[in-house]
Structure 1
Amino acid sequence: MTHQKITIPTAALILGAAGLIPFVWGALTYLNDTLALWGTEVLGPRFVGPYIQLFYGSVILSFMSGVLWGFATKADGRQATLCYALSVIPALWAFFMTGGGPTGAASNLISGFIGLLLLDYCFFKWGLTPPWWMQLRVFLTSVVILCLGIGVVM
């Protein structure tokens, strides 16, 4: 029995990695005051530290709800109903759970991204995603959680 290597499409990998930039940039500006000052002066205060991570994290959770909704279109009957219902959870989580200060919001986003990864896995196991989906999602989610975690502990 031979196993085929599953390759993430180049465009999906590049765009997914590019989507990490605001998380990584936010973490770097947490860790480096000089970089944070430069970013604040050049880009504005909304684009450094917790501000970029929290706003962008909410956007990405909402975007991923749309991705899951798209996967739900491949299901039928009760499974489709379940998938549509599950697909809105990340967006609702982002909407309701990202207030109350940067540390709490970042902690809640971490929980939201972990929950999203569990939903990704369910949709994957149900055969609704591309075969490379979990390989990409584990990588992206790991980086997101690491970057948000820096904001929680700083």
Structure 2
Amino acid sequence: MTDPLAAPMPARVRPPVPALLLGYAGLLPPIIGIAWRLIDPAKGGAANALALFYAALILSFLGGMWWGAAAARVSGAALTLWLGVAVVPSLVALAAGAVLFTSVVSGAAIVAAGLLGSLLVDMALVRAGHVPPWWMRLRIPLSVGLAALTLLAGLLAQP
């Protein structure tokens, strides 16, 4: 029996429906936080702050996905490199969290930059064959969307 993961797949393969639904549902927390802030500025501040926190969590989550993808398919020195890359998003999210206490806009910008920068690693994972060919068709709109929402939430957090 052949390995279905080893079979070549067309580059235009659509992401599975559950990945699409759950991926786009992941944009709801910042959308809700921003909407709440706009509708009720006095009480929506906490929801907006949660939108920023959520974006940092997702950035860290991306590193976990990279770790899993590499651990499943790579060994030796290449595995060490991929695992090292995989911890970077958590460190960026931590740094952004520390900055958020002094400058919400700067912290949001760090998280947004991390989300956009993550696309470079995602592209490398696709090229190396460590993730499915549909990966970027999902990752690009989700990362760009969450980065934009994060910047908006940061701007709305200003007094």
Question: Is TM (by shorter chain) over 0.5?
Answer: yes
Instruction: Indicate whether 1:57 and 2:55 are aligned.
Output: yes
Q: CA deviation at 1:36?
A: 4.5
Worse-matched range after superposition: 122-131 or 21-30: 21-30
Which residue pairs with 1:12 in the alignment? 19
Which residue pairs with 1:84 in the alignment? 83
Tell me the amino acid that sits aligned with residue 22 of structure 1: P
Contact 2:105 2:151 in 1 (8 A): no
Return 5+ residue gaps in structure 2 as ranges: 1-9
Q: CA deviation at 1:149?
A: 2.4
Runs of 4+, deviation exceeding 4 Å: none
Which residue pairs with 2:29 in the alignment? 22
Matched position secondary structure for 1:128: coil
| Cα separation, 1, equivalents of 2:23 and 2:74 | 25
Contact 1:61 1:112 in 2 (8 A): yes
Return 5+ residue gaps in structure 1 as ranges: none
Q: CA deviation at 1:54?
A: 1.5
Which residue pairs with 1:124 in the alignment? 126
Q: CA deviation at 1:19?
A: 0.7
Tell me the amino acid that sits aligned with residue 108 of structure 1: I
| Cα separation, 1, equivalents of 2:104 and 2:143 | 19
Cα offsets for 1:106-152 (capped at 9, x unmatched): 01111110121111111111110111111100010111122122234
TM-score (norm 1): 0.83
Matched position secondary structure for 2:74: coil
**Structure-2 change in CA distance of 1:55 and 1:14 (3 Å):** same
Which residue pairs with 2:110 in the alignment? 108
Which residue pairs with 2:153 in the alignment? 151
Matched position secondary structure for 2:54: helix
Worse-matched range after superposition: 102-111 or 91-100: 91-100
Tell me the amino acid that sits aligned with residue 72 of structure 1: A
Count how many residue pairs are aligned between Structure 1 and Structure 2: 143
Q: What is the CA RMSD across the aligned residues, in angstroms?
A: 1.9
TM-score (norm 2): 0.80
Contact 2:52 2:153 in 1 (8 A): no
